[in-house]
Amino acid sequence: MRHYTAFALALCALLPVAATAQEAVATTTQSGSIDLGVRGSSLTGDAARYERYRDLGDGLFLETFRWKAQKNGWFLDAGADHAGRRDQRYTVNVVRPGTFKAWGQWDQIPMLLSRTTRTPYSSTVPGEFRLDDAVQAQLQALATAARPAAVQALVNGSAMFDLKSKRHSAAGLFELMPTVDSAIKVSVKHTIREGAQPFGGAFGHSQVAEFAAPIDHRLTDFDASAELERGPALFRAGYTGSWFTNEVTSAVFDNPLRATDISGTASSGRLSLPVSSTMLGVNGMVSIKLPSKSRLTAYATMSTLKDDNGAVLPMTSNSAELPAAGLPTRASLDGEAQMRGFNLNFTSRPSTYFSVNARMKYYDYNNKIPSFVSSRKVAYDGRLSTTATLESEGYSVTRLNFDGDVRITPKGPAALTLGYGRYTDQRTHRIFEKTVDNVMRVKVDTLSTGVISVRGVYEHAQRRGEGFDVNVLLRATEQPGMRHSDVADRDRDRFTLIASFMPVTNWALNVSSAVGRDDYLASEFGLRDNNHDVYSIGIDGTPSDKVGLGVSYSYEDYRALSRSRQANPGAQTLDPSRNWATDSADKVHSLIANAEFRNLAEKVDLAFSWDYNRTRATYEYITGAVTDRTLPEEAIVPSTLPTPVALPPVKSDLWRGTVDAVYNINSRIAIGVTYWYDKYDVEDFTLDSQAQSTLTAGNNMLLYYTYAPYTAHTTWGRLMFRW
């Protein structure tokens, strides 16, 4: 019954389509193709990562089915991909050009995270993760020193299971054009997401239990709009609705080391999962064509987000603390937010040599959830504390953006654009009350010459915060010199260049470059700079109408520096000799090559491709000053911290090669062979199987969700039929 909405939707979409199809098939032109295959794979390593969002199981499969028909002005398209597989998709499209259009789709997206996860938890009630009481009692009785090994033995002795989820969606789009100047459009999409994801629950700073948190979501999106064109004006009005249902809004997980609740430690923990919610909104737009190739567009929207009778969870799952903890100061979430938006765009091209664009965008997110205040807190479901008062801070933001561009096109091959933008954000409960970002842009674009095309942009931006409130940091026991990078003062320079050179019509040389420098100039702590350099070069060519070749290489370099001070409360927080920094770098090389040969010996099509992606990420710790990134006013003192032990680099390499050969027996039938080679190598000090297998210390119960390499050879024979 849970899926009835999806089925109802699909049925609604398909019934008339089927009626149309029946009529269409009877008499008219039709064409189609079907691509069947038999697949076999040889795989070593992480099968889950190889498949991830696909179903590549062995055996017979329908790769694609396509069918087109038309009769008396009706056009029908139907398609199926991977029919019968977990990643199957079905699409149908019915068009009466100029009058009516209907589109429907059923799509399944699997997500396979791991085939090697283990857990001793069992879950007979959704959201509850239980251990055998006897196991808990046995572990509780052990001496502290003996517990880690016992916990690991418990996990290692558990059966493996697939950690996975799936998204199934049914979508329909209906468009009616009563006149050539008007259109009514309705779209509905219902998505079911089910499965599990890794989630952690803590019983203190030194004990964590991971479990496969349930995903049981329903999301229905409804959009309706009406559009009318009258003379130079276009009017549009719309309604949007979004209903999200989460069937499991809390997770309870047993403590492996505690069979019974006591003050200070619970036998189980409980944490919150997202609540169901509804978002409803309306919008309207007017776009008017003006003289001198000008247009003015105004758009307004308002919407409301509310929770669906969401509840504040109980104070604690610890029965020993619950009497003293009592009830929460509020039982219901009372969650509500109102969003308002208004855009005004003006564009004009009064002459061949000059054009102007101006945009204003206003957005307001008003969080109306009442503040939750409590002087009682049971941290980690352990012990009740009444020493501090907690008060929630509903975050709101108002944005006002202005953008203007003037484009000058003198006689000659290039256009010059000068642009300015001012982005003002006002926020609640952040360290800055307001930030203003001033952006200057210069753009150069060559005009159509057919031989060479160059596009370049240089952008300089300065963001400055106003209304700095140090108490926001101090309340969170943060350093007063910390600045959060998403709102901190920041100078930005960015340059991008894209050039394409076509010396002859069949060949093109493309080069591109993107360079960016973000300097958080006033941040004593936190992100200090964030830079990127990306370069690419590629050649594409069709030396003949039977041959297509292409090769491209790109290099990406991302670097960021952030600063901190390792300190316990007290004097250490003021000691600059305890400063340290993380210099992180991400370097990626990627190479893509492809070749296509069509109609070899008039019957054979061959295609080759090769993809190589090599990533190296490093996290270098630096103690003491970072010479060229230290603020002038900082005290430079020798570090008193021990020299950090360097972290190993993170490696992620992906090779993928494909060969596709098709022999066209005649115009209707073809046979083919396809071969895929996939290889993935990974070394990740946080997530690869080596990292987690060495974890024997501590009382932590993990899922063993890891990254592991794989090598796969996949081959399939194909039979294609066209009519």
Partner 1 sequence: MGQHIRKLGPKLWVATACLVWLAAFGSMRANAPDPGSAEKSPALQSPAQAQAAAAPAQPASDATYVGQDTCLSCHDEAMAAYKDSPHHRAADKRTPSATQGCETCHGPGSKHVADPTSVKPASFKTMPAEQADATCTTCHSKGEHALWDGSQHESRGVACITCHSVHTPVSETGSLKKKSQTEVCASCHRDKVSKVDRSGHMPVREGKMECSTCHNIHGTTNVKLLRKGDSIADSCVSCHADKRGPFLWEHAPGRDGCTTCHDPHGSSNDRMLVAKPPALCQRCHVATRHPSTIYDAGLVATSVRVFARSCVTCHSTIHGSNHPAGNMFVR
Residues 305-334 that bind partner 1 (CB under 8 A): 305-308, 310-316, 328-329, 333
Q: How far is the CB of 452 from partner 1 (least distance, A)?
A: 14
* 672 near partner 1 (CB under 8 A): no
Stretch 529-548: interaction string toward partner 1, x if CB under 8 A? -----x-x-x----------
Structure tokens at 375: 């002087």
Interface pick for partner 1 out of 40, 98, 350, 467 (rule CB under 8 A) = 98
Residue 573: Cβ within 10 Å count = 14
C-beta separation of 652 from 46 below 8 A:
no
Binding residues for partner 1 restricted to 415-454, rule: CB under 8 A: 415, 417, 427, 429-430, 443, 445, 447-448, 450
* 34 vs 313, beta carbon nearer partner 1: 313
The footprint of partner 1 on this chain (CB under 8 A) covers a number of residues equal to 215
513/687 Cα distance (integer angstroms): 32
Q: Are 531 and 559 in contact (CB under 8 A)?
A: yes
3-state SS class at 283: strand
What is the 8-class DSSP label of residue 130?
A: B
Q: Should residue 366 be labelled a site residue for partner 1 when binding is judged by CB under 8 A?
A: no
Question: Residue 179 interacts with partner 1 (CB under 8 A)?
Answer: yes
CA distance 620 to 504: 48
Local structure of 693: helix, strand or coil: helix
Q: Work out which of 39, 86, 270, 383 binds partner 1, going by CB under 8 A.
A: 270
Question: Residue 260 and residue 318: Cα distance in Å, rounded?
Answer: 9
Position among 172, 195, 624, 672 found at the interface with partner 1 (CB under 8 A): 172
Query: Residue 710, interface with partner 1 (CB under 8 A)?
Result: no
Residue 722 structure tokens: 């066209």
Joined tokens for residue 526: 């936190």
Q: Which residues of 4-19 are buried (b: 16+ CB within 10 A; e: fewer)?
A: ebbeebbebbbeebee
Considering the rule CB under 8 A, would residue 379 count as an interface residue with partner 1? yes
Round to whole Å and give the CA distance between 257 and 207. 9
Among 178, 350, 410, 543, binds partner 1 (CB under 8 A): 178
Is residue 339 a contact residue for partner 1 (CB under 8 A)? yes
Pairing of strands 128-129, 250-254: parallel
Q: Which stretch binds partner 1 (CB under 8 A): 12-20, 118-126, 135-143, 254-262?
A: 12-20
304 touching partner 1, by CB under 8 A: no
Q: To the nearest whole angstrom, how small is the minimum distance from the Cβ of residue 460 to partner 1?
A: 18
| Cα–Cα distance measured from residue 275 to residue 312, given in angstroms and rounded to the nearest whole number | 10
Q: Which stretch binds partner 1 (CB under 8 A): 117-125, 229-237, 255-263, 710-718?
A: 229-237
For residue 476, give the DSSP letter: T
Of positions 41, 150, 194, 241, contacts partner 1 by CB under 8 A? 241
Q: Using CB under 8 A, pick the residue from 14, 21, 49, 152 that binds partner 1.
A: 49
Q: Does 715 bind partner 1 (CB under 8 A)?
A: no
Q: Under the criterion CB under 8 A, does residue 195 sit at the interface with partner 1?
A: no
> What span, in angstroms and rounded, lies between the C-alpha atoms of 410 and 616?
46
In the complex, least distance from residue 619 CB atom to partner 1, rounded to whole angstroms = 5
Query: Please, which residues have CB within 8 angstroms of residue 475's CB and are 6 or more apart in sequence?
Result: none
Residue 504 Cα distances to 287, 455, 501, 543, 715, angstroms: 42, 20, 9, 10, 38
Q: Least separation, in Å, of the C-beta of 557 and partner 1? A: 11
* Structure letter (DSSP) for residue 686: T
Which residues are registered as beta bridge partners of 721?
Answer: 34, 669
Tell the burial category of 476 from Cβ atoms under 10 Å away from its Cβ (0-12, 13-18, 19+): exposed
| Residue window 592-631: x/- pattern of binding to partner 1, with contact defined by CB under 8 A | -------------------x-x-x-x-x-x-x--------
Candidates 11-19, 120-128, 155-163, 461-469 — which segment interacts with partner 1 by CB under 8 A? 11-19
Stretch that binds partner 1, among 121-129, 170-178, 259-267, 710-718 (CB under 8 A): 170-178
d(CA 119, CA 159): 7
Q: How far is the CB of 315 from partner 1 (least distance, A)?
A: 5
Using the rule CB under 8 A, give the single segment among 476-484, 629-637, 658-666, 711-719 that binds partner 1. 476-484
CB 705 to partner 1: min, Å: 7
- Of residues 500 and 630, the one with the C-beta less far from partner 1: 500
Distance between CA 593 and CA 626 in Å, rounded? 41
115 binds partner 1 (CB under 8 A): no
- The span from the CA of 692 to the CA of 709, in Å, is 14
The interface with partner 1 within residues 477-516 (CB under 8 A) comprises 477-479, 482, 484-487, 498, 500, 510, 512, 514
343 touches partner 1 by CB under 8 A: yes
Residues within window 117-146 making contact with partner 1, judged by CB under 8 A: none
Q: Is 264 in the site for partner 1 (CB under 8 A)?
A: no
Q: Pick from 652, 662, 676, 718: which binds partner 1 (CB under 8 A)? A: 652
CB of 477 to partner 1, least distance (A): 4
Query: For residues 199 and 272, what is the distance between their CA atoms, to the nearest angstrom?
Result: 11
Interface with partner 1, residue 96, by CB under 8 A: yes
Q: What is the closest distance, in whole angstroms, from the C-beta atom of residue 52 to partner 1 in the complex?
A: 7
> Is there binding between residue 220 and partner 1 (CB under 8 A)?
yes
289: CB partners within 8 A, 6+ apart: 232, 233, 295
Tell me: does residue 577 bind partner 1 (CB under 8 A).
Answer: no
> Which position among 21, 80, 171, 560 is part of the footprint of partner 1 (CB under 8 A)?
560
> Rounded to an integer, what distance in angstroms lies between the CA atom of residue 334 and that of residue 326?
20
- Using the contact rule CB under 8 A, the part of the chain among 48-56, 151-159, 598-606, 668-676 near partner 1 is 48-56
Choose one: 34-42, 102-110, 151-159, 628-636; the region binding partner 1 (CB under 8 A). 102-110
CB within 8 Å of 609: residues ≥ 6 apart = 592, 593, 594, 595, 656, 657, 658
What Rg value do the Cα atoms of the chain yield, rounded? 30
CB 478 within 8 A of CB 523: no
How many C-beta atoms surround the C-beta of residue 548 within 10 A? 17
Candidate residues 115, 399, 492, 722; the one interacting with partner 1 per rule CB under 8 A: 399
Contact residue for partner 1 among 115, 455, 460, 713 (CB under 8 A): 455
